[in-house]
Amino acid sequence: MLYHRLGIGRARLRRLYFLKTMAAYAIALALGERLAKPVEDARQLGADAVVVDGVARMLWRPRTPNDRSEADDVIATATAALGS
Residue 2 to residue 25: CA distance in whole angstroms: 31
Whether this model's pTM surpasses 0.85? no
pLDDT tens for the chain, residues 1 to 84: 788 888 888 888 877 778 888 899 999 999 999 988 888 888 888 888 888 888 888 888 877 767 788 889 889 988 998 886
Residue 55 to residue 81: CA distance in whole angstroms: 11
